[in-house]
Structure formats: C-alpha cells, structure tokens
Amino acid sequence: MAKRGKRAARAAARQRGQRRRAPLADRLLKLRTLEAGVREAYDLTVVASNHLGQRYVWRVPVIVPVYESEYSLRIELEERVPVRVVAENWTGSMKHTFGHNRLCMWFPDDPDERRWQRSDGLLKLIDTAVVHLFKELYWRETGEWLGDEAPHDVPKVEARAARLEAA
C-alpha cells in the first residue's frame, strides 16, 4: 500500500512538471568528474554527503601564496543551491564576504563566464578561493583591492539605521 502511495505521488509530481531525480550512478559519475584532479593538488576530505548524492561538503586546507598563511576551506554544494565556500579559520575582517567568512568571489548577476560553474570542477573553485584569500590579505595589509569589484547595495543594517533616523 505504501508503494502505491509513493508511485502515485511520483506520477502526480511528473504531471506538475517537477524534475525527477537523476539516478545515483549518474550523480556519482558527476561527482567523480567534479573532483577530477583535486586530490593531486590538495588534501580534499569529504566531510558530509547525503545518501542520494544531492549534497556534499568538503574540507580542504590551503596555503595562500606570498603570505604563507594556512586556511581551511569548507565547500558546500547542493543540487539546486549556489556553491558556498567558507574560510573556516579566518579571523578578522573581510572585504568581500556574505558574512560568517563565506567568500563572495563573484557577483550573483555576473554572466556565466565570470562565475564558477559545476562543469569547471572543484580544482578551479579551490584555486579561485585561494586567489580570493590572497586579495583579502592584500586588502587587509594595504587597503587596496586587487581586481574587479561588483557594486554592492547599501548594507541592510545601514539602510535600517537611516530609516530609523528619518522617522
């Protein structure tokens, strides 16, 4: 009886146009492609994954060139959510972050060629994060940001304070 209920639910979801999950074998193949070349360059560790292969969390220690500073990156990748990269042991301020040391490496509205895509693989993502950490350290030291910067809206906290003052 429970099987019929699940079948009916799947059939109803297909009629509503919802996507059917890719088979686990396909997901594992995509994972292997995503991780290609990483273990030769970095000590990548899988921290968590769900049994359906829809969510993965990796941890990778990196050393930022010139500064020789070591950080641990946590990379969180879910099927329908943008990738998140967190510098776990970063202390102090960061210029480009979403808060809680989550790196802001590209503007969400950037064209595809300026953002990391899953087809680029984890190696490119990690290398991009290391470059970002270098820029953060350089900015902290000099006050100058190396490279392009996307325009940022007024932070919510400042906007709220301005509204309170006006009231």
User: What does each of the 167 residues of the chain score in pLDDT, given as a tens digit?
Assistant: 455 666 676 666 566 655 566 677 777 788 888 899 999 999 999 888 876 667 889 999 999 999 999 999 999 998 788 899 999 999 988 999 888 999 999 887 888 888 899 899 999 999 999 999 999 999 999 999 998 887 655 454 554 455 555 55
Q: Which long-range contacts (CB under 8 A, 24 or more apart) does 138-144 make?
A: 139/95, 140/92, 140/93
C-alpha closest to that of 31 among 72, 101, 78, 100:
78
119 - beta bridge partners?
none
CATH class of the domain comprising 2-166: alpha beta
> What are 48's strand-pairing partners?
57
pLDDT of residue 55: 85
Of 75, 20, 83, the closest CA to residue 52 belongs to 20
- This prediction's pTM: 0.74
Q: Could you tell me the two tokens for 95? A: 């210029």
Bridge partners (DSSP) of residue 102 are 86
pLDDT, position 4: 62
Sheet holding 69-78, edge to edge: 45-49, 55-64, 69-78, 81-87
Extents of the domains making up the chain: 2-166
